[in-house]
Homo-oligomer: A and B are copies of this chain.
Amino acid sequence: MPLTRDDVVRAAVEVIDERGLAGLTLRGLATRLGISAPALYWHVTDKRHLLDLVAEHVLAQLPARRAPAPGEPVVDWLADGLRVRRAAMLAHRDSALVVAGNRPTEDAMPAIDATVAALTGAGLTPGESVRVLTALGSFLLGDVLETQAALDRPVPDTPADPRAHPHLEAAAADMGGDDERFEDGLSLMLEGLRARLAARAATGVAPV
């Protein structure tokens, strides 16, 4: 049975999961698939193209965006979507590096459009909605990027840090892990968003 493009993409994801993005070479990938390296060029135009497909594949694995449950605050619904996206990315090594720089695929647009609709429905202007959504996306990307970068480059076993930075030292105890860090930043943004929505509601501006 001949190889499909999807086989190639899936194998690439496996290689990245095992060896990291830097460990993905066309020759290695081809050998794993039992074909020769140039044969990959039949399925894919480019390594860059392959990475685009990998990014798409990783993001496509998350469940179809559910509509907000009746009575569910928009902000909570938004937060849930972000957590799902984050989980999908953290499930694959170096995914942030792969995803970074890929503008949203055409078939990711309906979900984005729906989210923008929800935000404008809650009282933001359309431009504001897009900006807020992009900001949340930037935060998510940056967070996952740093988390995964820390995995790739393990700590240099903290050589000398006696009491040069007392406040950082004090923080070490209750700093928490990656999830706490994300949740705390997220709650910051959502709190700000809630405040803004409340302000809009108070001034009685109807949703545009």
Interface residues as binary, A105-122 with B (CB distance below 8 Å gives 1, 0 otherwise): 000011011101100100
Please tell me which one of the listed residues B125, B134, B184 contacts residue A181 in the complex, with CB atoms under 8 A apart.
B134
Task: Please tell me if the beta carbons of B149 and A142 are within 8 angstroms of each other in the complex.
Answer: no
- Give the number of copies in the complex: 2
Complex: how many Å from CA A166 to CA B113? 7
Q: From residue A53, how far is it (CB to closest CB) to chain B in Å?
A: 16
Task: Please tell me if the beta carbons of B113 and A165 are within 8 angstroms of each other in the complex.
Answer: yes
Beyond A149-B101, A164-B109, A192-B195, whether A139 also contacts B185 by CB under 8 A is yes
- A101 contacts which chain B residues (CB < 8 A)? 145-146, 149, 152-153
A100 within 8 Å of B (CB atoms): yes
Complex: how many Å from CA A127 to CA B113? 37
Complex: how many Å from CA A170 to CA B126? 6
Task: Please tell me if the beta carbons of B185 and A132 are within 8 angstroms of each other in the complex.
Answer: yes
A27 within 8 Å of B (CB atoms): no
Task: Please tell me if the beta carbons of B184 and A100 are within 8 angstroms of each other in the complex.
Answer: no
Task: Please tell me if the beta carbons of A135 and B165 are within 8 angstroms of each other in the complex.
Answer: no
- A190 contacts which chain B residues (CB < 8 A)? 192
Residue of B at shortest CB range from A127? B174
Task: Please tell me if the beta carbons of B181 and A117 are within 8 angstroms of each other in the complex.
Answer: no
Residues facing B in A115-161 (CB within 8 A) are 116-117, 120, 125-132, 134-143, 145-146, 149-150, 152-153
A69 within 8 Å of B (CB atoms): no
A39 within 8 Å of B (CB atoms): no
Beyond A120-B167, A189-B189, A193-B188, whether A176 also contacts B143 by CB under 8 A is no
Task: Please tell me if the beta carbons of B184 and A109 are within 8 angstroms of each other in the complex.
Answer: no
Given contacts A126-B171, A135-B188, A191-B195, 8 further A-B contacts (CB under 8 A): A109-B165, A130-B171, A134-B146, A134-B185, A138-B143, A145-B145, A188-B189, A189-B189
